[in-house]
Amino acid sequence: MSPETAAVNIEERELHLSNLDKVLYPATGFTKGEMLDYYARVAPAMLPHIRGRPVTVKRFPDGVTTSGFIEKNVPRQAPAWIRTAVLPRKAAGRDTTELAVLDGVAGLVWFANLAAVEFHTPMWRVDEQSRPVAPDLIVFDLDPGAPASIVECCEVAPLLRSRLGEDGIELLPKTSGSKGLQLYGSIAGRHWDGLQVNEYAHGVAQAIERAAPDAVVSRMAKTLRQGKVLIDWSQNNPAKTTVSPYSLRALERPSVSTPVTWREVGACARHGDGERLRFGPDEVLARVERLGDLFSPLLR
């Protein structure tokens, strides 16, 4: 094999990795080989959060400065050992969608070898028969409208934390890896269906908007967002996905959707410094080694 290719054995699966020297992030020279190394090393922290969840990927074979494409259906060339789930779909002439369910490092690396830079998952899992089960997570995506930034998201986040705390739901923060902040909570014991979770999240977002109308908006219209933080509650819709914890993002520089502490959120708000919550792959690997998986309480 050429220097740009490698044969590796992961979980007793032989993978042929290709184009290892291809630059995916031209601004920094970050290569596909470096991305594969990152996903293989972060897998112990990442996999528990995506295991059992049908995955949607964003692929960038020619690098992140190109448009890339979203892939929901499992690729035709996928090996038979990658688990799939066939789910109903009434759109674009299809009755069903066959999605990949990544339960191991080999599957994660196999997709990354297709230049899958981003991994997105829903708030629910499938059972051993690949049937959807009730959502186990709730998510609020805080999206700042310019000139607001992640700093304003960090100012709004405690309002949601306090409100959900009243209902016994502990929220944990992570960066979106882009410009916003995302708050996750476990609802595994509540047995809510997708509609109930969506309606609950919508009601919470509306309540926060009423309490802080100068800082928050819960409606999606872009004309309402300037200088405010949109609390996007709609990602709890069972048909939608959110960027997975520890996933890279296809931005100018390699950035990771990173679990953070509430102390870090507070420091970002106090100092008005959004760079405090911007992490690249090497920083994330070091954080996991030092702090462990800050999102592990969601798995209990």
Average pLDDT over residues 102-128: 97
Q: Does the pLDDT value for residue 175 go beyond 70?
A: yes
pLDDT at 25 over 90: yes
Around 297, how many Cα atoms within 13 Å sit in the side-chain half-sphere? 13
What is the average pLDDT across 242-270? 98
Nearest Cα to 224, choosing from 114, 134, 148? Answer: 148
**Least reliable range by pLDDT among 4-8, 193-197, 257-261:** 4-8
Average pLDDT, the chain: 95
Q: Which residues contact 140 (CB under 8 A, 6 or more apart)?
A: 160, 171, 182, 183, 201, 204, 205, 231, 232, 233
- Mean pLDDT value of segment 157-183: 98
| Bridge partners for 94 per DSSP | 91
Q: How does pLDDT run across 195-246, given as a tens digit for each residue?
A: 999 999 999 999 999 999 999 999 988 888 999 999 999 999 999 999 999 9
Q: What angle do CA 47, 120, 68 make, to 5 degrees?
A: 125
User: For residue 254, which of 20, 30, 23 has the smallest C-alpha distance?
Assistant: 30
pLDDT reading at 115 higher than 70 = yes
The phi, psi pair for 141, rounded to 5°, reads -100, 115
Task: Return the axis-axis angle of helices 32-50 and 105-112, rounded to nearest 10°.
Answer: 140
Domains in the chain, CATH or no CATH each: 6-121 (3.90.920.10), 137-299 (3.30.70.3300)
32 in Cβ contact with 281 (< 8 Å) = no
pTM of the predicted model, to two decimals?
A: 0.95
* Residues, the chain: 300
Q: Give the residue, 96 or 268, on which the prediction is more confident.
A: 268
In terms of Cα–Cα distance, which of 138, 131, 117, 100 is closest to 240?
138
With a pLDDT cut of 90, the percent of the chain lying above it is: 91
Going by C-alpha positions, the residue among 69, 48, 49, 46 that lies closest to residue 57 is 69
DSSP 8-state symbol, 251: S
Structure tokens at 114: 């297709």
Number of neighbours of residue 29 by Cβ within 10 angstroms: 9
Does the structure show a pLDDT above 60 at 56?
A: yes
Q: What percent of the residues of the chain are helix, what percent strand, and what percent coil, each to the nearest 5?
A: 30, 25, 40
pLDDT of residue 95: 64
In degrees and rounded to multiples of 5, residue 169 shows phi and psi of -110, 120
- The DSSP result for 53-77, as a single string, is SEEEEEE-TT-TTS--EEE-SPPTT
The residues near 92 (Cβ < 8 Å, ≥ 6 apart) are: none
